[in-house]
Amino acid sequence: MTASLVISAPASGVGKTTLTLALARAYRDRGLKVQCFKSGPDYIDTAFHAAAAGRTSVNIDSWAMHREAIEALASRGANADLVLAEGSMGLFDGVATRGLSGTGATSDIAEMMGWPVLLVIDPSGQAQTAAAVAAGLRDFRAGVRLAGVVLNRVASTRHEDLVRRAMAGAGIAVFGALPRHAAISLPKRHLGLVQAEEQGEVDGLIAEAARFIAEHVDLDAVLQSAACASTAPCAAHGPSVKPPGQRIALARDGAFSFVYPHMLEAWRAAGAEIATFSPLADEGPDDSADVCWMPGGYPELHAGQLAANRQFRRALKSFAETRPVHGECGGYMVLGTALTEGGGTRHEMTGLLGLETSFAQRRMHLGYRLAELALPMPGYQARALLRGHEFHYSTIVSQPDTPLAIVRDATGAVVAETGSRRGYATGTFFHLIAEDR
Domain residue spans in the chain? 2-229, 247-436
Interval 193-209: pLDDT, tens? 445 455 557 888 899 99
Phi, psi of 422, rounded to the nearest 5 degrees: -145, 115
pLDDT at 388 over 90: yes
Q: Which residue, among 179, 236, 237, has the nearest Cα to 213 in the 3D structure? A: 179
- The reported pLDDT for the residue numbered 44 is 86
Phi, psi of 123, rounded to the nearest 5 degrees: -90, 20
Dihedral of CA 338/341/346/349: which sign?
negative
Do 2-229 and 247-436 agree at the fold level? yes
Which superfamily does 2-229 belong to?
Answer: P-loop containing nucleotide triphosphate hydrolases (3.40.50.300)
Angle CA(434)–CA(258)–CA(14) in degrees, nearest 5? 95
Interval 320-370: pLDDT, tens? 999 999 999 999 999 999 999 999 999 999 999 999 999 998 899 999 999
- The reported pLDDT for the residue numbered 201 is 75
User: What mean pLDDT is predicted for residues 35-49?
Assistant: 93
Dihedral of CA 206/212/215/216: which sign?
negative
User: What mean pLDDT is predicted for residues 215-243?
Assistant: 83
Assess contact for 84 and 76: CB atoms under 8 A.
no
What percent of the chain stands above pLDDT 70? 94
What percent of the chain stands above pLDDT 90? 88
Neighbours of 414 (CB within 10 A): 9
DSSP reduced 3-state for 314 = helix
Residue range 247-436 in CATH 3.40.50.880: yes
Assess contact for 372 and 414: CB atoms under 8 A.
no
- The reported pLDDT for the residue numbered 153 is 93
- Mean residue pLDDT of the chain comes to 93
Task: Please name the amino acid found at residue 12.
Answer: S
Task: Name the pLDDT band for 236 (thresholds 50, 70, 90).
Answer: low
pLDDT at 89 over 60: yes
- The reported pLDDT for the residue numbered 313 is 98
Q: How far is CA 146 from the centre of its chain?
A: 24
User: What mean pLDDT is predicted for residues 275-279?
Assistant: 98
User: What mean pLDDT is predicted for residues 244-267?
Assistant: 95
Interval 167-203: pLDDT, tens? 999 999 999 999 986 555 655 544 344 454 555 578 8
Number of H helices, E strands in the chain: 12, 25
Cross-strand pairs, 36: 84
Sort 416 into a burial class: Cβ within 10 Å, 0-12 / 13-18 / 19+: exposed
**DSSP readout, 209-248?**
HHHHHHHHB-HHHHHHHSEEE------S--S----S-SEE
- The reported pLDDT for the residue numbered 180 is 83
Sort 346 into a burial class: Cβ within 10 Å, 0-12 / 13-18 / 19+: middle
Q: 36, 234, 292, 329: which one is catalytic?
A: 329
329 is catalytic: yes
User: What mean pLDDT is predicted for residues 75-101?
Assistant: 97
**DSSP readout, 98-147?**
--SSSSS-HHHHHHHHT--EEEEE--TT-STHHHHHHHHHHHS-TT--EE
Q: Which residue, among 184, 133, 131, 132, has the nearest Cα to 160 in the 3D structure? A: 131
pLDDT at 131 over 90: yes
Number of alpha carbons in the 13 Å side-chain half-sphere of residue 258: 30
Q: How far is CA 23 from the centre of its chain?
A: 19
For the ranges 44-48, 118-122, 235-239, which has the lowest average pLDDT? 235-239
pLDDT at 84 over 90: yes
Number of alpha carbons in the 13 Å side-chain half-sphere of residue 253: 17
Cross-strand pairs, 340: 346, 358
Task: Please name the amino acid found at residue 365.
Answer: H
pLDDT at 257 over 60: yes
Q: Strand pairing of 405-408 and 365-373?
A: antiparallel
